[in-house]
Amino acid sequence: MEHDSILELLESVKTGAVTPEEALLQLKKQPFEDLGFAKIDHHRGLRHGVSEVIFGEGKTPEQIEGIVSAMAGRGQKNIMITRLSQDKADIVGKQHSLDYDPISRIGVCYRERAESPRGSIIVAAAGTSDLPVAEEAAVTAEVLGNKVDRLYDVGVAGLHRLLSYLDVIMSARVVIVAAGMEGALATVIGGLVACPVIAVPTSVGYGASFGGISALLTMLNSCAGNVSVVNIDNGFGAGYIASLINGG
């Protein structure tokens, strides 16, 4: 049960539309449920405004399905699973309504799309190899109810490509930048906009890129004051934080 719906419930109690006893039934007293291999956090929706998200990597399809079933059993919608391979998606999709995107590797069970997505989040990526991470960020933000604009293949070695989108960039509420190799795109965009920039280093590259360390250091040392950084390849985190900034 999420933040907004609980507030709505309390308002109904205030107006008398719902009795305190009925409200009590709807509130989950038990903050988590123990499945043996995992504890599902039902209090999280209240605390975070966003329900728990399942990190699919390293879990068996059976474990994922078990968690989804427990959440769906409580009426949870928009159950998001990240790092979900096609194979696992096929299995989970047999038991549950699943909306799966193979590029971002995100699956959403019992999806309910927001009617009017909030504000504007831009996701920019330096090269085509950065797309999976960029899409993980973009799809995450969309699932959480945000409007997302994508600017792909705008690396700084061909500056005019980026500059041709100046209007779009400057109107953003928050920008996510996914870049590997030297990761300079975050700083260049950071210097162009007056909003927060979430930088995601990607593990794309070879040689001295060291699996994303080079891009990570570049972003941490950014001369643009509005850049903060998440873990290498952590597209989900970037999308989630951008959504929070955008009012999610």
Residues 56-95 that bind a copy of itself (CB under 8 A): 57-59, 63
Minimum CB separation of residue 75 from a copy of itself in Å reads 18
Decide if residue 168 touches a copy of itself (CB under 8 A): no
Decide if residue 149 touches a copy of itself (CB under 8 A): no
Minimum CB separation of residue 117 from a copy of itself in Å reads 19
Would you give the binding string for a copy of itself spanning residues 92-131, x where CB under 8 A is met?
Answer: ----------------------------------xxxx-x
Buried b (16+ CB within 10 A) or exposed e, 146-155: bebbebbebb
Stretch 187-246 residues interacting with a copy of itself (CB under 8 A): 187-188, 190-196, 198, 201, 203-210, 212-234, 236-238, 240-241, 244-245
Which is closer to a copy of itself, CB of 114 or CB of 245? 245
In this chain, which stretch among 55-63, 69-77, 90-98, 111-119 interacts with a copy of itself, using CB under 8 A? 55-63
